Amino acid sequence: MIRINLLPVRAAKRKETARQQIIVSLGAIAIILLLSFLVYSYLMVKISSTKEEITRSEQEIVELKAKIDKIKDIEKLKAEVQKKLDVLSQLRREKTGPVQRLQTLSQSIQEKLWLTSYSEAGSQITIKGIAFNEELIATFMKNVEASEDYEKVELIVSEQNEMAGMKLKRFELKFNIEPRKH
């Protein structure tokens, strides 16, 4: 009988199988390392682009803050200009006020009634004058009260004085300037 010794073939097969397993294991490790390197590289690129985007956003924020400050300055200037324009328009409206008030007084005066003094303190006016009689003073007061420029007409003093041989009535009135309706 012929005997064949198969032990060396089995040992060779085992060596071959072990070699194949080592090659497959090394190949798997190489693939895992390659994939890990690719994932790492991808994440590093993404982190870098995100940092650049953050830097750009921070620069944009700084620029926008500067623009906001400029806008706030412009709004302050606009408010100041508006205040000045309001004052100018108020002055324009009230520019004709004293002239109109004096014209109203002039139109309220009748013959034989003379004004000797006119003074303004804020919104209160004091007038002194001379008239022939009380009726002229009363009519003058009614005319002033009826005007749109004055209110609260009060007779402070009315007394008889002799001037140039004539008996005349000296009077003093106080009244307020009517607030303007804008």
pLDDT tens profile 59-88: 999 999 999 999 999 999 999 999 999 988
Distance CA(113)–CA(163), nearest Å, equals: 14
Q: Which CATH architecture has domain 97-177?
A: 2-Layer Sandwich (3.30)
36 versus 126: the higher-pLDDT residue is 36
Backbone φ, ψ for residue 48 (5° rounding): -60, -45
Locate the domains of the chain by residue range: 97-177
9 falls in which pLDDT band (50, 70, 90)?
low
Give the closest residue to 145 by CA, choosing from 182, 178, 106. Answer: 178
Per the structure block, which two tokens stand in for 125?
């006016």
The pLDDT of residue 182 is above 60: no
Task: Give the residue-averaged pLDDT of 37-64.
Answer: 96
28 versus 136: the higher-pLDDT residue is 28
**Is the separation of the CB atoms in 176 and 123 below 8 Å?**
yes
Provide the residue type at 79 as one letter: A
Distance CA(155)–CA(13), nearest Å, equals: 139
133 falls in which pLDDT band (50, 70, 90)?
confident
- What's the pLDDT score for residue 108? 75
| pTM for the predicted model, two decimal places | 0.45
Distance CA(105)–CA(113), nearest Å, equals: 12
| Interstrand relation of 124-131 and 150-163 (parallel, antiparallel or unpaired) | unpaired
> Which DSSP helix (H) or strand (E) runs through 117?
strand 113-121
Per the structure block, which two tokens stand in for 137?
């003073």
pLDDT above 70 covers what percent of the chain? 88
8 falls in which pLDDT band (50, 70, 90)?
low
Residues 6+ apart with CB under 8 A from 178: 147, 148, 149, 150, 151
